[in-house]
Structure 1
Amino acid sequence: MSNITRWNPVSEFEDLMNRYNRMFGLTRNGDRDSKDVFSRSDWAPAVDIKETAEAFTIDAELPGMSRDDVKVTVHDGVLTIEGERKHEEESGDKKHHRVERFYGSFMRRFTLPENVDENSVKASFKDGLLTLTLQKAEPKEPKAIQVDVQ
């Protein structure tokens, strides 16, 4: 009688991701090995971007973080959200069996549409959700310039 092994596509995918991470010098918890191959964020928070007639709203999921861990800047039409989620301190009596959450630094950048007032950005942070509100500006009308011909 032969043994039948049940195929598990999830474990195949996890194996593939682990090999990929090892190839690029990454471990599963987002820490880097000493052979830093790329300079990139360790993870990126998920965002929702919504638009109303008056404003754009960006919601970024930052579970386990406080507002002091996050920095939001606007410069030359680019909105940047950056920060770091720190891994909890290791203790001698605790053994990790699985670490699936990502830790480390992150950066997300968004090019703002021309109809956004860069000076109107408002931010709030509650229950691990960063909400940014960007008011729309009145569209700039083209300005006609009179040319004198001599």
Structure 2
Amino acid sequence: MTRLTRQTPNRTLRTLQREVDGLFDQFFGRTDGGDRDTSAVWSPSTDLTETDDDYRLRLDVPGMSADDISINLQNRTLTVSGERTSERTEEGEDAVRVERAFGTFHRTFTLPNAVDADNIEATYDGGVLTIHVPKTKESTRRQIEIQ
């Protein structure tokens, strides 16, 4: 009798991802059953978009205030850092599962030469930090007509 088995390649990838996540959790001392170490390093998810006039970075940093975040520019290196503190459980309350990351984060981005560093702006709304990095006039794209 021939036996048919359903192949699911994604299942193998998911299993591998869980194993790798488990190794990282063991290395950094994190477990699902309790508080994560407040000194743990985490990295906010970031989107980078480009238009003809500017670059925009959007970092997911929910649960933080603008005062918790620092943005620095030195030479062409833009550094975003901060710290998200964990919410303590109340007396008589034990954490059953903690998945949100807490602690410090540090993201560094190397900017191209042709940005207007004096006019970089940042806004924070709804847990998303948006950094607007304008390009210099010389670096903006322009259409060249063929003669």
TM-score when scaled to structure 2?
0.74
Partner of residue 135, structure 1: 134
SS in 1 for 2:137: coil
Q: Which blocks of at least 5 consecutive residues in structure 2 are unaligned?
A: 1-10, 140-147
More helix by share: 2
Separation (CA, whole Å) in 2 of partners of 1:90 and 1:138: 52
Separation (CA, whole Å) in 2 of partners of 1:12 and 1:115: 41
Partner of residue 99, structure 1: 98
Deviation digits for residues 54-102 of structure 1 (CA, Å, limit 9, x no counterpart): 1111111111111111001111100000000100123222121111111
Alpha-carbon deviation of 1:14?
4.3
**Are the aligned partners of 2:38 and 2:103 in contact in 1 as well (CA < 8 Å)?**
no
Separation (CA, whole Å) in 2 of partners of 1:53 and 1:12: 40
Deviation digits for residues 16-40 of structure 1 (CA, Å, limit 9, x no counterpart): 5334432x2422354279xxxxxxx
Separation (CA, whole Å) in 1 of partners of 2:87 and 2:38: 17
Specify the structure having the higher radius of gyration (Cα).
1
**2:25 pairs with 4, 21, 25, which one?**
21
Aligned pairs for 1:1-150 within 5 A: 14=18, 17-22=21-26, 24-28=27-31, 30-31=36-37, 42-139=41-138
Give the fraction of aligned pairs with identical amino acids, expressed as a percent: 30
Number of positions where the alignment pairs a residue of Structure 1 with one of Structure 2: 125
Separation (CA, whole Å) in 1 of partners of 2:115 and 2:125: 24
Between the two structures, name the one with larger relative contact order (CA 8 Å, sep ≥ 6). Answer: 2
Amino acid at match of 2:52: A
Structure 2 vs 1, CA of residues 99 and 14 (structure 1 numbering), >3 Å: closer, same or farther?
farther
- The alignment yields a C-alpha RMSD, in angstroms, of 2.5
**Are the aligned partners of 2:63 and 2:127 in contact in 1 as well (CA < 8 Å)?**
yes
TM-score when scaled to structure 1?
0.72
